[in-house]
Amino acid sequence: MISSQALHLGMFMLPWSVLILLFGLIGLWGVGKYFKQRHQWANSTWQCYKDSLWTAIWVGLLAARVVFVMTHADLYLVHPIDIVKIQDRGFNFYAGIIAGSSWFIWKNRLLKMPVLVSSFLLFITIQFVGINLLNHWNAQQHYPDLAFNNLKQQPQSMTQFIGKPTVVNLWASWCPPCHREMPVLYQAQQHYPDVQFVMLNQGETPEEIVSYLHRYQLNFKNVLFDPHGKMPQHMNMYGLPSTLFFNAKGQLVESHVGELSQAMLKQYLQKITH
């Protein structure tokens, strides 16, 4: 099954970002194989080329994470433990590309220039084409033509939120990561008055929702409930919490499965407000 987040193969989920990176690696391996046969590389040269592919990935990921954390240092210093929570997907793409490519080129600096240029251009092309295709796919997805009741049992159409940037969070009170990210979303609602935050509960009764929100003093402006999970089915979102980020035109800009950190939420909000 295919979703905007990943390719789902039974119990396994392969995020598109990982698949795009994997395709880039396969392309680099193919380029190296071609030049190895054409120029009769020594075994040591070919081994160095292959090894540098994997080390470049680790160097790139480390640099991407460090730069992202440094960019949002004010938020990470408040909760330093979040620095190691890489599941928040907080990576700086450009820093990772620059660091990983530089490492790969330096490790293979003795190769002829056409090899390095061909390898670099192919990898960069695959990454940018893949990411642009993914962004284009997301942009084709709009608010679903669905309606959900609010806590007063009044039906609310999702299309009513078109006109302003909107964050739709799929959550449940029994979900630990949902509970942990609630204060992050609530604080963001205060800091971003021009963004609509829609808290779409999954499978719980209005009484359970009200009790939870009162207990933790969470006064969200838009609380709806989806007793049959229609929204995640329509948007192909699997797992809680899940968060959808729509721009003012109602186009899906980003989606996130899992707990949101303050830094990642800030980055997503910048994308839908600019």
Q: Tens digit of pLDDT for each residue in 162-210?
A: 999 999 999 999 999 999 999 999 999 999 999 999 999 999 999 999 9
CA 38 to mean position of chain CA atoms: 40
Instruction: Answer yes or no: is 8 within a domain.
Output: no
CB atoms within 10 A of CB 125: 12
Q: Residue 202 in 3-state DSSP?
A: strand
Segment 65-70 shows an average pLDDT of 94
Say if residue 95 is in the same domain as residue 207.
no
Domain C-terminal end among 124, 140, 156: 140
Q: Tens digit of pLDDT for each residue in 32-63?
A: 999 999 889 999 999 999 999 999 999 999 99
Say if residue 107 is in the same domain as residue 223.
no
By residue range, what is the domain housing residue 27? 15-140
Say if residue 261 is in the same domain as residue 240.
yes
Say if residue 198 is in the same domain as residue 171.
yes
Say if residue 108 is in the same domain as residue 183.
no
What span, in angstroms and rounded, lies between the C-alpha atoms of 252 and 41? Answer: 48
CB 240 within 8 A of CB 265: no
Say if residue 155 is in the same domain as residue 261.
yes
Say if residue 151 is in the same domain as residue 253.
yes
Taking the complete model, does pTM exceed 0.75, yes or no?
A: yes
Q: How many domains does the chain have?
A: 2
CA neighbor of 195 nearest in space, from 244, 253, 247 = 247
Domain C-terminal end among 105, 140, 175: 140
